[in-house]
Amino acid sequence: MDSQSHTELLDLISEPESVAATGCTLGFLTDLTLKTIHLYGESTAQKICSEVRLPFTHVMDQVFDYLKREGLAMVTGGQGFSEQSFRYVLTPKGVERAQEAVGRSHYVGPAPVPLAVYNKVVRALTIDDVKVTPASIKTSFAHLVLSDVALARIGPAINSGHSVFIYGPPGSGKSTIAEASSRLLTGHILVPHAIDAGGHIIRVYDPQNHEAVPADEPPAGVPVTPPEGRWDQRWVRCRRPMVVTGGEMTLADLDLIYEETAKYYEAPLQVKANGGMLVIDDFGRQQVRPFDLLNRWMVPLERRVDFFTLHTGMKIEVTFDMLLVFSTNLAPKDLVDEAFLRRIRHKVYVGNPTSEQFRLVLQRVCEARGVQYTEHGCKYLIDEHYVKAGREMRGVHPRDLVEQLIDIARYNDQEPALSRELIDEACNSYFVEM
């Protein structure tokens, strides 16, 4: 990030010094405060500020003054002379207005940031800033056994920050490759608790998909504290996310999710993945035609923006900034046409392991599981249950077979080992002739 972009980012995430600087109106903050007191009961100004993530000075003090002036809330006491320690309770008039506000939206929590500001921050901390090298690829994938060809294609795909198509037979390690790739997405990003799109609230921060960075961890691309004052607490400093969805995904999951009862929105998967990686696993097995699913990504992939329609008919534009990964066991020709494949920047084929790669994976798995590895046992496994059986090797087989072998040995109260007997039992219970 250059110095100008860094300065612009600091301006966007610095603690607001006025109500106007929050991007919210005084009326909106009033309603949010009333709903907060209505939910938690008698509360100190400090607690309310903590809940809405806005500073008392120059922002929330204006809201509290308005509440008292309009007879919506009253002070019931406090400790010392600090106004932040004053305890507030709603008046009957305040309760009535709080209930009206709840009727419009049940949202209670951190104040939202404006959509325009969100889009700028996402672009400032773009996935394009991530850079990997052959050395970092080698380190990150050291625990996997992959061909040099596959590794040479994964690196540029990550650096592209756009899209990659990973395909190959089942059990070849495609999901593991995606997970290892996500660890190369260095740098921190900022995720808002919620954004405001024309008066509509969209929740974005999701603890299931966003890993917050501890406050004492040094920043990586995001300043902890701007030069002047604190940074806006409505943002959460997070690691670049990896959001995974599989065969359960539908087209509806890619649109804003409107909570009919709560009357606010939940951000879709691709918005939660902004700044990181979105993996469409088991592509082709969703409950929607591959063509329809791929067609949904055409505009975002080409223009780096996504469009959504609110339930009111209002259309909004949200920055689309992530590495989009399609992972499939099916043949590309059966899923996509040539026109779409042109729009996918990189294609990575992950095939079955060679005998030597299979041996190396088996050796590593045995070491990790505390099973003594022997060349004799490995040779017997390959000859008897692959060569003679006419069975293809899969990258996942060594792990599964060793775990199967351990289960059988534990049941028989014996030490797990690569013996012929345990190998035969493990294979006979694991493989199913189709």
H-helix or E-strand spanning residue 65: helix 61-69
CATH code, domain carrying 100: 1.10.10.10
Whether 434 shows a pLDDT value over 60: the answer reads no
Residues with Cβ within 8 Å of residue 36, at least 6 apart in sequence: 43, 48, 51, 52, 108
Q: What order of strands is seen across the sheet that includes strand 277-280?
A: 242-245, 277-280, 323-328, 163-167, 346-349
State whether 61 and 173 are in the same domain.
Answer: no
The whole-angstrom separation of Cα 129 and Cα 111 is 29
Query: Are residues 71 and 210 both part of a single domain?
Result: no
Please indicate, yes or no, whether residues 235 and 277 belong to a single structural domain of this protein: yes
Cβ-based neighbour number of residue 296 at 10 Å:
15
Residues 152 and 102 in one domain: no
Q: Is residue 7 part of a domain?
A: no
Q: Answer yes or no: do 101 and 232 share one domain.
A: no
- pTM across the whole model: 0.89
Beta strands in 93-139 (DSSP E): 113-114
What is the DSSP-derived secondary structure letter of residue 383? I
**Assigned domain for 297 exists:** yes
Cβ neighbors of 82 (< 8 A, separation 6 or more) are: none
* Residue-averaged pLDDT of the chain: 90
Q: Which residue has the tokens 């989009």?
A: 324
Instruction: Check whether residue 140 and residue 274 sit in a common domain.
Output: yes
Distance CA 90, CA 34 (A): 7
Phi-psi region of 108 (alpha: psi -120 to 50; beta: other; left: phi over 0): beta
Alpha carbon distance, N-terminus to C-terminus of the chain? 54
Residue 426, domain CATH: 1.10.8
Q: Which residues contact 402 (CB under 8 A, 6 or more apart)?
A: 362, 365, 366, 369, 371, 416, 426
CA 232 – CA 221 distance, rounded (Å): 16
Q: Is the CA virtual torsion 345, 351, 357, 361 positive or negative?
A: positive
Q: Which of 349, 373, 400 is the last residue of a domain?
A: 349
> Any idea which of 155-164, 175-184, 335-344, 369-378 has the lowest mean pLDDT?
335-344
Backbone angles phi, psi at 268, to 5 degrees: -75, 175
Domain stops at, among 78, 108, 138: 108
At 3, the pLDDT band (50, 70, 90 cuts) reads low
Among 305, 332, 349, which residue terminates a domain? 349
Q: Are residues 242 and 181 in the same domain?
A: yes
Whether 1 is in a domain gets the answer: no
Q: Is there a domain that residue 256 lies in?
A: yes
Q: CA-CA distances (angstroms) from residue 351 to 118, 151, 180, 241, 324?
A: 40, 12, 17, 27, 21
Tell me what pLDDT residue 290 has.
Answer: 79
Write down how long the chain is: 434
Whether residue 32 has pLDDT greater than 60? yes
Q: Say whether both 150 and 267 belong to one domain.
A: yes
Q: Where are the alpha helices (DSSP H) in 258-396?
A: 269-272, 290-303, 338-343, 355-369, 375-382
- Owning domain of residue 365: 355-430
Whether 246 and 331 map to the same domain: the answer is yes
pLDDT 10s digits, 226-265: 655 588 999 999 999 999 988 788 888 899 999 888 999 9
Which tokens is 87 given? 């305890």
Q: Identify whether 18 is part of a domain.
A: no
Same domain, 143 and 255: yes
Q: What does the pLDDT read at residue 420?
A: 95
Q: Is the pLDDT of residue 157 over 60?
A: yes
**Domain contains 213:** yes
* Residue pLDDT, tens place only, 306-316: 999 999 999 99
User: Do 59 and 138 fall within a single domain?
Assistant: no
Give the pairing type, strands 188-192 and 113-114: unpaired
**How confident is residue 19, by pLDDT bands cut at 50, 70 and 90?**
very high
In a shared domain, residues 197 and 298: yes
Q: Is residue 6 part of a domain?
A: no
Please report, for the domain that includes residue 305, its CATH number: 3.40.50.300
Burial class (CB in 10 A: 0-12, 13-18, 19+), 117: buried
Q: How confident is the model at residue 174 (pLDDT cuts 50, 70, 90)?
A: confident
Residue 12 lies in a domain: no
Q: How many domains does the chain have?
A: 3
SS3 category, 375: helix
